[in-house]
A = this chain, B = another copy of it.
Amino acid sequence: MLRIALIGAGNVGYHLGRRLAEKGCAVEQVFSRDKKKARNLAEQIGAEPIDHLKAVSSNADLYILAVSDDAIEQVAERLSEHLPEGKTVVHTSGAAPSTLLAPYFQRYGIFYPLQTFSRQREPDFNSIPICIFSPQSELEQELLGLARTISQSVHRIDDEQRAVLHVAAVFVNNFSNYLFQIGQEILGQEQLPFGLLQPLILETAQKVQEYPAREMQTGPARRGDLATIEHHLAYLKKFPKFRALYEVLTREILEEWLKG
């Protein structure tokens, strides 16, 4: 059985570690600088909690670095100081290239679950796309196989493609979440409950599970309804930042549909 050392117990490490253990992988160690986090996760999955990188065992078959992007290189370097040669190391980042690991390990790759994780919510791992890459094709096959044990959506995605995915993910996740925040702030200012918008948000996301986003577009800009746009801009004078954003997005949608 594959013996895994999981380096990092943040949101990605936490859920990935639990899922791997659930599917029968031997996650033998959990490292976190935060002792409590290491212990919490390790207890759940029958692993040894550690809070020093020097305590990372030489016996694992796979080292998964689920640490923040700017820590990957430093952690890789420090691990390489005491791990024997030939060890396999992957990281879980959407943004960092696999080549960050190249100076330190001969067998390296990517194991990137494309989802937004938070401690409180149990993800449906089966549908989470796992993006796999390694320049060593044999290792890549092994990683694809491992990924298939925890998800039905497994993809070979090279560094360049992964960088593109990450940009697109910023638009659909970070930026749309910011729009949700704007909606919430506008309603809050007017003492209206956010519950009024929650079903709309969910339905908007559900529609693009089935249909192309462009075909699902509605609203005043889509219709070229300039009177409503004027009303909205007049109202938004009390939120200058939101008003500027409304203008930019409306202009882009208007242009999109004028040309279309």
Interface residues of A (CB under 8 A from B): 69-70, 95, 114-116, 118, 120-121, 123-124, 127-129, 131, 153, 155, 157, 161, 163-184, 186-187, 190, 192, 194-214, 216-222, 225, 227-228, 231-232, 235-236, 241-242, 244-246, 248-249, 252-253, 255-256
A25 CB, min distance to chain B CBs, angstroms: 22
Contact A181 B213 (CB under 8 A): yes
A159 CB, min distance to chain B CBs, angstroms: 12
| Sampled A-B contacts (19; CB under 8 Å) | A69-B228, A70-B227, A127-B199, A129-B195, A164-B190, A168-B187, A172-B180, A172-B197, A173-B200, A176-B180, A176-B204, A177-B208, A180-B213, A184-B213, A184-B214, A198-B209, A201-B208, A201-B209, A245-B252
Number of copies: 2
Q: Which B residues are CB-close (under 8 A) to A204?
A: 116, 172-173, 176-177, 180, 205
Most chain B CB neighbours (cut-off 10 Å) among A115, A120, A171, A232: A171
A212 CB, min distance to chain B CBs, angstroms: 7
Q: Which B residues are CB-close (under 8 A) to A187?
A: 164-165, 168
Contact A208 B218 (CB under 8 A): no
A66 CB, min distance to chain B CBs, angstroms: 15
In the bound complex, what is the Cα–Cα distance between A217 and B9 (angstroms)? 19
Q: Which B residues are CB-close (under 8 A) to A194?
A: 212
Most chain B CB neighbours (cut-off 10 Å) among A177, A198, A203: A177
Q: Which B residues are CB-close (under 8 A) to A165?
A: 187, 192, 196-197
Contact B172 A217 (CB under 8 A): no
